[in-house]
Structure 1
Amino acid sequence: MLDQICQLARNAGSCIMKFYNNQKLVNISYKSDNTPITNADYEANNIIKNGLLLITPDIPIISEEESHNFINNRHWNNYWLIDPLDGTKEFLKKNGEFTVNISLIKNGVPILGVIYAPFFNTLYSSFHQNAWKENNLGIKEKINVAQADVPLLVTSRSHPDKELKNYLEKIKNYKLKKLGSSLKFCLIAEGTAQIYPRFGNTHIWDTAAGHAIIIAAGGEVKTWSGKDLNYSLSSRYSFVNASFYASA
């Protein structure tokens, strides 16, 4: 099934790149929180959703691009989480730092994760305790987190916040890289980066695929109080995550 999900992500990515390479095709609107959304988001969403319904017709789907009544979903133990175009701001800035995110949640834990970066033609995937990276040459290899004497911290390119500034002031030795979308999780999973501190708001579809890949590669994703970031809908009050950090 993982291979089928990877192909779905690639199909959605190919669709997104048609818009990326011809901006005249892009129609932009704005959500209630003033974040942009485009027809590329919607078309990628349809590709993924229709594909998942064929592969696993009995598993429900939660997507960033659709309205969901949280109360009605709270009894779901197993479900798909998708973010068809993570990093819409980066997509519009044309810096390439956007991804397709698909994850499978089982009893509150992301057990399968796929992240495809179509601009770089690079795909990250995981199932249980194994994680892989397939580069633009089609070479696929297992990946693992790695420590470093001077850790590389990855932070959001489009979401600066005061708490992050305070956090960085307390660390003496580190290197810093700003990066869009869930690529931050991927750099930790492959051993390039070590820490992704996040204080601002995220939603479960922003983090689940990256979370799955990081834990499969030997890392962790925890809230600042030390608890695992959890996707159990029955123990939540909304789709919004607590602040967290991902680390090697």
Structure 2
Amino acid sequence: MNRNAFESLDHLTTPHLADGCLRAGVPVRCGPAGLLPLSPGMRCAGRVRPVRHVGSIDVYFEALEHAVPGEVMVVDNGGRRDEACIGDIVALEVKAAGLAGMVIWGLHRDDGELRDIDYPVFSLGSLPTGPQRLHSRPADLFERAAIGPHGVTAGDVVVADSNGVLFLPADRLDAIAEAAIGYRATEARQIEAMRGGRSYRSQVRFADYLSRRQRDPGYDFRRHLREIAGAGEV
């Protein structure tokens, strides 16, 4: 993973990166739509530090024994909505260890205190009560976390912002970032042209697309955009 590609994540939104995945031929892995930041404007990006919660907060402290500053702790609590699995003590400890943030497939508690800490936490929401159960520890407790339908490991990078949460394979990050930067530049040109009075439809020759589709019903808009992009027209 190129250092410049990783640093570019600070300047790319998750929508830019999701489109970068599409252009680079990488499957898009988004966290479910309900996975949101505690406060507007929160953002974090870093290597995944996976943790599977089994009912006790000691798993987080054990994970920190091996964590590297700049990572993002990704917590798998199975999407449970009957218990909160982290609170202010855990968040303060993770922050003090230098991790960039937390993404939780579950709920948090101590909502007001967490907001005061002002540390990036993404979760499914809040609930007053913590776990009232303790399950056995799986062998891969610190190796893999599930977030919705996606399994993530230390071989992944996570980027989370107000749009949502996106997981990227670290070994494809260079290609994704390059494609995302290209997409962002194209979008910026289009928006600037729109502000100058040139509609998006005229920029992408929408009338030509409709005419072509009338002749060829199988012709779709994505193909049209690819063709005019290939000709350097957008």
What is the TM-score normalised by the length of structure 2?
0.22
Pick the structure with more strand per residue: 1
Which one scores higher on RCO, CA 8 angstroms, separation ≥ 6? 2
What is the TM-score normalised by the length of structure 1?
0.21
